[in-house]
Structure 1
Amino acid sequence: MAKARIGISGWRYAPWRGVFYPDDLPQREELAYASRQLASIEINGSFYSLQRPSSYARWRDDTPRGFVFAVKAPRYVTHLRRLRNAEQGLANFFASGVLCLREKLGPILWQLPPSLRYDEGVLEAFLAQLPKDTESAAALARRHADLPASKTAWETDRRRRLRHAMEVRHESFRDPAFVAQLRRHGVALVVADTAKRWPLLEDVTAGFMYLRLHGDKKLYASGYSPAALRAWSARLQAWMRGAQPRHARLASPDSKPPKRAARDVYVYFDNDQKVRAPFDAMALAKRMKR
């Protein structure tokens, strides 16, 4: 059975206190609270800097059984190295404690900068380095550099597959070759709703779908109306059945997605500025249960 994991990008926002979070809730308990309202959360602090193993372990322990995190990969790899010569950055990322999430580790998000154009060769070299499971990630992590022992951990309690998703922000990725490339590597193309700022592509490229809803009218700020949530719910249900939504917005319109009886979907609301994200996430999750 396919699963729909609907949640938010990040959880520590001052304007949420007293609106989503109860007035008297200590800040250290915000994750525990949010994870009992939602099925998944995207960790985004990992994009700005490497986190500590102790943090990943605490986040794992603070959340209920069955909860799943997505992890946003570091901008050092995507924005500074721009996917080139990425092995050391990848090793340091996986050595920083990501695997401490254990069974709660969900997809890893690779968000590319708006200025990065599609280059098939550069992307191929990068995709080929992505570990497919936790044991491969641990082996890569052992080649880390310049990280003290107190900030590294790569032990894995068992072998688990890793899921990768890529969010693009340049029109040059609207290319059938890019879609075919992601399919060869089993990497999901992120469906990103960005108020028409960046490409919104819905090509199915992996055994799961990954959506980031940043706001349909105003980036990071506008909430989703009941009609908009109803439309997204219909699209999610189609993907979960292994199908493709009607009138899907495709970079490769003549190609068919890989056949699959069902697909898991991960959805993260990133319209946090007006405290819409958690409420939109809960509303969509409720709609999906009808």
Structure 2
Amino acid sequence: MIRIGIGGWNFPDWRGGAFYPEGLPQKRELEFASRALTSIEINATYYGSQKTESFQKWHDETPEDFVFALKASRYATNRRVLAEAGDSVQRFLTSGITRLGQKLGPINWQLAETKQFDPADFAGFLSLLPDEQDGLPLRHAIEARHLSFADPAAADLCRERNIALVRAGDSRFPDIDTPTADFAYLRLMGTQDIDGGYDAAGLETWAGEARRMADGRDLYLYVISGAKHRNPACAQALIQRLA
């Protein structure tokens, strides 16, 4: 299964016909986006706690086969000692995320770009990430933004827990393309201000990479930054190529 989407859904430049139809009420933007794409990465959860009712509302407004990825709280990941994040991890996991039910996809634990790989500290952090919450299986992904995480030891630690290493495509961050789980997670961050976000060759390149990464595993692909106003079109173009 390949899921493709964008980060969030409330962005003014997507309105007025750029992605959302002219005149579409803002309260219906998630309804529209979840039927034009196959997944969305929720970024608001990174910056602050969300109401339990919000997770339920997002569940109810989207199709049965839709999936959300969540960015975990920055209070759990932007710290000097990751292994001491237990309380913050638990607060996030018990904040209502399981109200998404089967629409809950992977959780992206994005590390600070200054955070370097420390085997003992990293292992301690991974041990804080449970396999399930409220009876719902969880998938975890680590977005490491420092080149030191290209160390095979980091991949081995993730592999032991079936935790994915997020791949950063077209980014200033290191592109760590190492499979460590039964799913893969790719974030594209280099769209250009052209139709589709990439030219035809660029779209075909990333479609090919998606096919390769999804060989034998699920793939979650999000078009995140770059020319952000082009990202929905890019995601839709990739969906069409991979249909």
TM-score if structure 2 supplies the norm length? 0.94
1:287 and 1:228 map into 2 onto residues whose CA distance is: 12
1:166-215 per-residue CA deviation (whole Å, 9 max, x = no partner) reads 111111112111111111111101111143x1100111000000000011
What is the RMSD computed on CA atoms of the aligned residues?
1.7
1:176 pairs with 2:149: no
Q: Which residue of 2 aligns with 1:224?
A: 198
- Aligned counterparts, 1:62-211, within 5 A: 62-80=61-79, 83-135=82-134, 159-195=135-171, 197-211=172-186
In the other structure, the counterpart of 1:151 is none
How many Å apart are 1:160 and its aligned residue?
Answer: 3.2
Report SS of the residue matched to 1:235: helix
Q: Which secondary structure state, in structure 2, belongs to the residue aligned with residue 106 of structure 1?
A: strand
Q: Measure how far apart 1:58 and its partner are.
A: 0.2
Quick check: 1:269 aligned with 2:243? no
Give the drift of 1:216: 5.8
Q: Which amino acid aligns with 1:9?
A: G
Q: Does structure 2 conserve the Cα–Cα contact (< 8 Å) formed by 1:43 and 1:69?
A: yes
How far apart in 1 are the matches of 2:222 and 2:53?
24
Cα distance in 2 between the residues matched to 1:180 and 1:9 = 29
**What letter matches 2:128 in structure 1?**
Q
**Alpha-carbon displacement from aligned partner over 1:136-187 (angstroms, at most 9, x marks no partner):** xxxxxxxxxxxxxxxxxxxxxxx33211111111111121111111111111
Partner in structure 2 of residue 238 of structure 1: 212
Tell me the CA shift for residue 239 of structure 1.
Answer: 2.7
Rounded to whole Å, the distance in 2 between the matches of 1:29 and 1:82 is 41
- Helix, strand or coil at the partner of 2:105: strand
The change in CA–CA distance for 1:38 and 1:217 in structure 2 (over 3 A counts) is closer
1:42 shift after superposition: 0.4
Query: Highest Rg: 1 or 2?
Result: 1
User: What is the CA–CA distance in structure 1 between the aligned matches of 2:41 and 2:138, rounded to whole Å?
Assistant: 15
For 1:83 and 1:122, how far apart are their aligned partners in 2? 6
The amino acid of 1:223's aligned partner reads G
Contact kept in structure 1, 2:167 and 2:186, CA below 8 Å = yes
Distance 1:233 1:282 in 2: 12
Give the Cα separation in 2 of the matches to 1:6 and 1:280: 10
User: For the Cα contact (< 8 Å) 2:77–2:110, is it kept in 1?
Assistant: yes
| Aligned-partner residue type, residue 165 of structure 2 | L
Shift in Å, 1:227 = 1.0
| Deviation, structure 1 residue 108 | 0.3
- Which residue does the alignment assign to 2:11? 13
Inter-partner Cα distance in structure 2 for 1:35 and 1:165: 22
* Distance in 2 separating the partners of 1:204 and 1:283: 25
More strand by share: 2
Q: CA deviation at 1:31?
A: 0.4
Which letter does structure 2 place at the counterpart of 1:212?
R
Instruction: Count residues with an aligned counterpart.
Output: 240
How far 1:224 sits from its partner (Å)?
Answer: 2.1
Correspondence for 1:25:
24
TM-score for both structures, normalised by structure 1: 0.79
Q: CA deviation at 1:273?
A: 4.5
Alpha-carbon separation, structure 2, partners of 1:209 and 1:29: 30
Shift of 1:94: 1.3
Q: Residues 97-117 of structure 1: CA distance to partner in whole angstroms, max 9, x if unpaired?
A: 101101100000011111111
Shift of 1:271: 2.4
The answer as to whether partners of 1:57 and 1:101 remain within 8 angstroms in 2 is yes
Decide whether the 8 Å contact of 1:186 with 1:207 is kept in 2.
Answer: yes
**TM-fit CA distance, 1:217:** 6.8
1:108, 1:71 → 2: CA distance?
Answer: 5
